[in-house]
Amino acid sequence: MTGFRFNTIFHKTKQFHRAGNFSKTIAILPVFFISLFFSDCGHSSGQEVRDSLRWWKGNLHTHTLWSDGQDYPEMVTQWYKDHGYHFLALSDHNILSEGQKWIDVAPGDAVFRKYLERFGPDWVEQKATDDRIQVRLKPISEFRCLFEEPGRFLLFQAEEISDTLAHLNAINISRPIPPQGGNSPVELLQNNVNAVIAQSRETGRPMFCQINHPNFRWALTAEDIMQIRDEKFFEIYNAHPLTQSFGDSKHAGTERMWDIILTKRLAELNLPLIYGIAADDAHVYHQWGPAYANPGRAWIVVRSHHLSPESIIRAMDAGDFYASTGVAFKDILFDGRTLKLVIRPENGISYITQFIGTLRGYDSTSRSVVDANGIQIRTTRIYSNDIGKILVEIKGTISTYTFTGNEIYVRAKVISTRSKDNTNAGIAWVQPVVPGVIK
């Protein structure tokens, strides 16, 4: 190992952030720090613990028939497990997959037929009336045992809190959280984030919340998200075709929003980093193509010792993960001064890494966006190109960026030759890092 892992440096940099919010966000951490080190993990030395770090691939945004997804939860889970994922969050709208729920099924329904064929009549619960069949949706507590395996596959109970103005995914919650509402997008986001934190504190269970698809219905702006306290995650890429991750001529794309959010939080608002998540937001499992919200397009890869909710959430909280649509890393190293990426190469594919950041002394002015009649639109403001500049571009599978001392943050984006115009396939986003000393 040629440098410190993310965790090391993030512990160091925490003390330089003035934001008490940072420590509030991870108020739950001491609970699982203790369980991590005193549970029966079987590690006897520091070397063994380091060696046990692994990358785990997962999707944190998935729908099933518990809300508007188009397949049974076991079928959806099976799809992800069969396609090399290690963890999956089932995140239906305003509901947990628990309790009794029966759905009507039309005679000859192909989705039901496939479910019955795959899991068999002993597993599938159905009852027939005169003109229809009713099928019971299994709660996660009943089907976990079919899929979960230590070190191989993990399910998170989750909910997409689908509020009037925005959606947020609450991951690893134990009770449903009703949409909290609010008189503005900022108030609504903050109320929902606070509700997840409150449940985590009350139960002692690690949980987190991610702000979903900011550009769906142009709901959220960078200015909204940058203000949210105790929030560390938002979707920089949501693969659902209606979520407008790329923005348009009047609306910033989510990646541009990320740079604005990072710059303003770190340099002006005294708030900590926000990390980027890529997710499927999968709904459609039986028709395939760019127009459908299919699974398998966008994911995160987390580095942790164990495939457990505690270990995965702890690593994410430390920023030790990346978002991807088709690029994988062997290693990501940051020693407080140099960020080094080692890509896991694939035959016939080449890579360009962009190190992106904002330097001190940047032009902080901005202007509003107006429509054809000169009327202001509620959308992310237009900022200078100083924000989120490409600092260096490097070809190949190993790339490094050494801080000069002038950077507010640096993140990396890897673009592979698999990527095509106007799609985010074949890309990876490395989480932002801040230099060893932050003022």
Using CB under 5 A, list all residues that contact Zn ion: 160, 167, 212, 281
Nearer to Zn ion, 212 or 308 (CB): 212
Nearer to Zn ion, 234 or 409 (CB): 234
Q: Give the shortest CB-188-to-Zn ion separation in angstroms.
A: 14
Q: In what order do the strands lie in the sheet with 133-136?
A: 102-105, 133-136, 126-128
Distance CA 46, CA 252 (A): 45
Q: Give the shortest CB-10-to-Zn ion separation in angstroms.
A: 29
Question: Whose structure tokens read 């202001």?
Answer: 376
User: Cβ neighbours of residue 219 under 8 Å, at least 6 residues apart?
Assistant: 165, 166, 185
Nearer to Zn ion, 166 or 433 (CB): 166
Nearest residue (beta carbon) to Zn ion: 167
Q: Give the shortest CB-63-to-Zn ion separation in angstroms.
A: 6
Q: Give the shortest CB-267-to-Zn ion separation in angstroms.
A: 30
Amino acid at position 82, single letter? D
Nearer to Zn ion, 140 or 387 (CB): 140
Nearer to Zn ion, 167 or 411 (CB): 167
Q: Give the shortest CB-221-to-Zn ion separation in angstroms.
A: 17
Report the DSSP beta bridge partners of residue 162. Answer: 167
290 touches 241 (CB < 8 A): yes
Nearer to Zn ion, 221 or 397 (CB): 221
Q: Give the shortest CB-93-to-Zn ion separation in angstroms.
A: 7
Nearer to Zn ion, 162 or 311 (CB): 162
Nearer to Zn ion, 212 or 358 (CB): 212
Distance CA 67, CA 21 (A): 33
Buried b (16+ CB within 10 A) or exposed e, 34-61: eebeeeebeeeeeeeeeeebebbbbbbb
* 346: nearest Cα among 285, 437, 426: 426
Nearer to Zn ion, 222 or 279 (CB): 279
Q: Give the shortest CB-54-to-Zn ion separation in angstroms.
A: 28
Largest alpha-carbon pair distance within the chain? 74
Q: Give the shortest CB-164-to-Zn ion separation in angstroms.
A: 12
Q: Give the shortest CB-209-to-Zn ion separation in angstroms.
A: 13
Q: Give the shortest CB-324-to-Zn ion separation in angstroms.
A: 19
- Helices 309-317 and 29-38: crossing angle in degrees, nearest 10, is 120
Nearer to Zn ion, 235 or 255 (CB): 235
Amino acid at position 150, single letter? P
